[in-house]
Structure 1
Amino acid sequence: MDSLLTIASTLADQLQKPTLAFLIGGMLLAALGSRFAIPEPVYKFIVILLLLKVGLGAGMSVRDANLTELLIPALGAAAVGVAIVLLGTLTLAKWRGVSEVDALATAGLFGAVSASTLAAGMTVLDDSGIYYEGFIGALYPFMDIAALVTAIVLAKLSLARRAASTANSTTASGGTLALGGGGRGPSLAPRSDAAQGMVKAIALDTFRSPAISALLVGLAIGTFAQPDSVYTSFYEPLFRGLLSILMLIMGMEAWARLSELRRVAHAYILYGLTAPLLHGLLGFGVGLAAHALTGFSAGGVVLLAVMAASSSDISGPPTLRASLPEANASAYVGTSTGLGTPVAILSIPLFMALAEIIIGT
């Protein structure tokens, strides 16, 4: 009974957090027929500012970390981010009726990191007197960017395959399909080359997109320059207010596409409740490997698991909204913030107990 009350209390807390509260506010505006709108140029400006801020903060964390100690955990964090998205292609994306693009966007958000959940994990460890490395905060951009880029590239490949399939079907039904000389079938090599070219083009397009470009240039400036003054005086004060406006916009869009999820809502509910635990265990396993290789602390292992269990509420939504407008925000934001975040926070004691049993704290 106490556990149920804790879960209910955590869910209620999440509903009051700005990210989900403004998302729900936007959905209410749309449901009531409001004409509230943000001009597209203003929206794009907001997204760029948000992602520059996220990139700058992440770069400053990396800059201040010990790069030698950071290397192995950082590579592990990036691998976990990619693995979570790939796991989503084998689970949620295979569910009948679930759009592959929506599934990949959701997996990308779950592969990315919630800074607030990571902060909650740090607070719990601090209160328990458990040591963890000072560079832990610098690990999150590696997992975050790896997951988001992987999800966006795979989703764009899915859209490209769907468009090609539709074009081929149209050509075939129109009776214009030509057969080459002597009745020999086409070579597989050109198809393979074309597929590789498509992957390369989509990957380059993703890195050149405004959202990812802003994130990466912010990361580079934060790492190799000294943007602390402009970060503190300009980006930091604006950030929460701009994010709230973005979530209002996404809430209105989410309401417009909510009907698409009615027949597959159970899939997202199941994913939102189970994925954080599975992802956290994956992060815990990678943390154990780093512990064996470098002496990574038990507290560090716990926090790597917490990062893997969390789902992004800051960098992820604007990145996905800008890069994958085809994806349904009702699916990826609702599942992540509404279900994934409470489960991730509640799982922190589980990972602490596992670390104490396996490593000792």
Structure 2
Amino acid sequence: MDMISTIAATVVAQFQSPTLSFLIGGMVIAAMGSKLTVPQPVYAFIVMLLLLKVGLGAGMSMREADLVAMAIPAGLAALTGIAIVLLGGRTLTRWRGVSQTDGYATAGVFGAVSASTLAAGMATLDGRGISYEGFIGALYPFMDVAALITAIVVARMSAARMAAPAGGGVATLGGGGTRADDGVVKGILLDTFRSPAISALVLGLALGLLAKPESVYGSFYEPLFRGLLSVLMLTMGMEAWSRLAELRKVAHAYVLYGLTAPLIHGMIGFGAGLIAHQLTGFSQGGVVLLAVMAASSSDISGPPTMRAALPEANPSAYIGASTGLGTPVAILSIPIWIALSGLVMGT
């Protein structure tokens, strides 16, 4: 009975959170035929500010971390994000009706990290007296950026391959191409890094790491963050409703993925954490939080990045599966990783 109450409370809290409530609000007013719109230049400005804020915060965390001790966990976090995208994208695109772009956009959002879920994991560990490394927050950008870039690059390579003339051949990650077209691959990589979303994220990361932006971060970016995010989610909700009809034919694929992916991804992150534990003495709390990050799906950097870099992808797919289903499952799975870490690590 307690478990049912906990699940119900978590679901209600998720629907009441600003992220999901504004998203649902946007869908509702769009369904009612509202003419409310957010001008594209305003939307682009909001996305730039949000991604700069995420990058700045992550960069400042990295600057304060022990870079030597962080190196192996950071590398494993990046590999985890890449593995989640490749596994999730291949799984989703096997379903009839799921396009390559929609599949990899959804996998990219799931490979990226939810700051709120990570914060919930930290709070749970603090409440149980389980310690973890101070640089854990700095692992966020490694998994996040690696997953987003991988998803965008693979989706664009797939689109380029499909558009290529017969016998042309474009290289693919994981094989499947007839020959390596270095020019195409290089062009896609450059285009990805030059895209507005990734550029803002990487720029913020570099400034947070190399400059000292604490004053502008605390006085401008942090106070505006939640308000801007609510407008972003409202816009996403309106767009998601307008494209919902495209999703109905394959909704079961995204429902199944949204409910199961966090657990599978969490196991990947848990395994990466155990490797870091064996190599560097990574703590139990660190292993748990790496699993939590892997299980989470981005509600901040992921959706606007995908909308900007892959505008042809259906936001109903990647937002509905991640925010609507994946996030509650990821939060509910936190006790699983704590229990599993105690069992495996003997604490």
> What interval of TM-score do these two structures reach, taking the shorter chain for normalisation?
over 0.9
Aligned to 1:138: 138
Q: Is the 8 A contact 2:61 2:138 kept in 1?
A: yes
Matches within 5 A, 1:111-126: 111-126=111-126
1:13 pairs with 2:10: no
- The reply to whether residue 85 of structure 1 matches residue 72 of structure 2 is no
Question: How much does 1:325 deviate?
Answer: 0.9
Correspondence 1:161-172 to 2 at 5 A: 161-164=161-164
Q: Report if the CA contact (8 A) 2:133-2:286 is conserved.
A: yes
Give yes or no for contact 2:49–2:221 (8 Å, CA) kept in 1: yes
Aligned to 2:179: 192
Alignment of 1:97-246 (within 5 A): 97-164=97-164, 192=179, 195-246=181-232
Partner of 1:31: 31
- The answer for unaligned runs of 5 or more in structure 2 is 172-177
SS, match of residue 192 in structure 1 = coil
Q: Give % identity.
A: 71
Bigger mean CA deviation after superposition, 91-100 or 128-137: 91-100
Superposed CA offset, 1:47-103 (max 9, x none): 111111110001001001000110000000000000000001221121111122111
Q: How far, CA to CA, are the matches of 1:304 and 1:283 in structure 2?
A: 5
Match of 1:292 in 2: 278
- Aligned CA RMSD, in angstroms, stands at 1.7
8 A contact 1:55–1:222 mirrored in 2: yes
Matches of 1:322 and 1:261, distance apart in 2 = 20
Amino acid at match of 1:290: A
Q: Which amino acid aligns with 2:134?
A: G
- Tell me the matched-pair count: 341
2:341 counterpart of 1:359: no
Letter aligned with residue 303 of structure 1: L
Distance in 1 (CA, whole Å) between partners of 2:30 and 2:157 is 31
Structure 2 distance, partners of 1:358, 1:188, is 43
1:11 and 1:338 in contact (8 A); partners too: no
Contact 2:157/2:170, CA 8 A, preserved across alignment:
no
Give the counterpart letter for 1:197 in structure 2: G
The change in CA–CA distance for 1:222 and 1:186 in structure 2 (over 3 A counts) is: closer
Q: Measure the CA separation in 2 of the matches of 1:187 and 1:360.
A: 51
Bigger Rg over Cα:
1
> 1: CA distance between counterparts of 2:42 and 2:117?
29
For the residues of structure 2 that align with 1:186 and 1:200, how far apart are their CA atoms?
16
Q: TM-score, normalised by structure 2?
A: 0.95
Report whether the alignment pairs 1:323 with 2:309. yes
- Would you say 1:263 and 2:236 are equivalent positions? no
Q: 1:188 deviation in Å?
A: 11
Q: Secondary structure at the match of 2:131?
A: coil
One of 342, 347, 350 as aligned partner of 2:328: 342
1: CA distance between counterparts of 2:345 and 2:305? 37
Normalised to the residue count of structure 1, the TM-score between the two structures is: 0.91
CA contact (8 A) 1:49 1:235 kept: yes
